[in-house]
Amino acid sequence: MTSSNSYRVPGFLANGVHAGIKADGRPDLAMIFSTSPATAAGVFTTNCFKAAPVLLDLERIRSGEAQAVIANSGVANAATGAEGFADALAVSRTASGELGIPDEMVLVASTGVIGHRLPLRKIQEGVKGLVAGLHDDGIPAAEAGIMTTDRFPKIACRNAVVGSKEITLCGIAKGAGMIEPHMATMLAFIMTDADIEHNALDRVFRQSVDHSFNAVTVDGCMSTNDTAIILANGFARNPRIKKGSRHLGRFAEMLSSLMSELARELVRDGEGATKVIEITVEEARTLGDAQRVAYAIANSNLVKTAFFGGDPNWGRIISAAGSAGIPLPVDQVRLFFEDVPVFSGGKGVAGREAELAGVMNKTQIRVRLGLGMGRRSWTVFAADLSFDYVKINAHYHT
């Protein structure tokens, strides 16, 4: 498996344009398109208030096939009722008409202000240029079209040889919070030319989401629009990857690696984030216990502000872990900042201040909590909590 800097996947075209949804002239409409029907899988927000595009995709993804994704930024088309659903359908129809493919083969996604209708006429106008400009090196343009408060684009690619054929995986993603003021949503679109059976794709994609996007947190909030989609068009002509085939593990590893890279980039670009905290909870009795304790730490505002302030405040981490609702054997618990022990045997470890000062100056910091209860572990990547987070999310008005 190698990383790649050329953002091309055989059989995929992409593009991004400014359709006039955003007032500032930045790109706000994006498309990825497979020149032939692709195997498709998707993971969507579990929020009860699912945005219209999510509701439409949930219907369509069941077929296991898709050929295009059209996404807009600026307006989320969430909390817009039946009218919003009709708008999502209208966007899809405009795209399928322009592409000349069955409408059911189009998936849609939106990110932006909640509670506003899409500017349908602008989008319908914009789709023409979007489709006309589709090209095989258009992935960065598509990424630009889905960014909201993102400070930098998130694109990652992987190549590997499967059964003497080279396969390629590229993904784009936008964050980053949940969320800008109303600018809800994590979106990720992954393209691959691998030939892979639908059931196998669906399974490894869900697992990869769990270990990547579901293992990062900026503010613990889940959006109405979160969407991750993968399209696999088989252009690589590799021996078909199936459940139980020896290539599936390799493909899953590539996919997880790619998505983890995108997920870490989301955190690094989290709203106001100045540091990425890698929190590993190990020696848990169950995976669920490890996750619960890890998220209790990762979403603690006291922990997050301490990291922002550069304070090696292990007391807050211990306190957050202890309030996760899982009985912990206090005397067995050990906490490390990088490899420096800070808590052990029920009390703090004295005399490591100089080493800790060095650790706290880093922009990515590993924290490791051993529970002394079992063998399961979980890692979550979290952003710190800064003045800028408050500024971005408070100083914006509807």
Nearer to its own copies, 5 or 46 (CB): 46
The DSSP line for 278-317 is EEEEEEESSHHHHHHHHHHHHT-HHHHHHHHHT---HHHH
Kindly indicate which of the ranges 23-31, 173-181, 199-207, 260-268 contains the residues binding its own copies, using the contact rule CB under 8 A: 173-181
| Cα–Cα distance for residue pair 315/329, rounded to 1 Å | 16
Q: Which of residues 35 and 305 has its CB atom nearest to its own copies in the complex?
A: 305
Instruction: Determine whether 363 is an active site residue.
Output: no
Interface residues for its own copies in 232-291 (CB under 8 A)? none
Q: Which of 80, 149, 185, 217 is catalytic?
A: 185
Of residues 80 and 96, the one with the C-beta less far from its own copies: 80
At 331, list the tokens. 């005397």
CB of 367 to its own copies, least distance (A): 16
Contact 219, 390 (CB under 8 A): no
Separation of alpha carbons 45 and 40, rounded Å: 17
Least distance from its own copies to the Cβ atom of residue 309, Å: 3
Could you say whether residue 351 binds its own copies (CB under 8 A)? no
Q: DSSP readout, 148-178?
A: SS-SS-EEEEEEEEETTEEEEEEEEEE--SS
Beta carbons within 10 angstroms of residue 111's beta carbon: 33
CA neighbor of 291 nearest in space, from 371, 208, 188, 347: 371
- With vertex at residue 138, the alpha carbon angle to CA 110 and CA 164, rounded to the nearest 5 degrees, is 110
Q: Using CB under 8 A, which of 163, 341, 348, 374 touches its own copies?
A: 348
Element (H, E) at 37: strand 29-44
Q: Within a 10 A sphere around the Cβ of 277, how many other Cβ atoms?
A: 24
CB of 310 to its own copies, least distance (A): 7
- Per CB under 8 A, the list member of 10, 11, 153, 177 interacting with its own copies is 177
Query: Which of 17, 306 has the CB closer to its own copies?
Result: 306
Q: How far apart are CA 153 and CA 155, in angstroms?
A: 6
Q: Within positions 304 to 323, which residues make up the interface with its own copies, using CB under 8 A?
A: 305-306, 308-316, 318-323
3 state SS of 7? coil
Rank residues 5 and 398 by Cβ distance to its own copies and give the closer one.
398
Stretch that binds its own copies, among 72-80, 86-94, 154-162, 247-255 (CB under 8 A): 72-80
Name the site residues for its own copies (rule: CB under 8 A). 45-49, 76, 78-84, 113-115, 177-179, 181-182, 184, 219-224, 300-302, 305-306, 308-316, 318-323, 326-328, 330, 343, 345-348, 353, 385-387, 389-391, 393-398
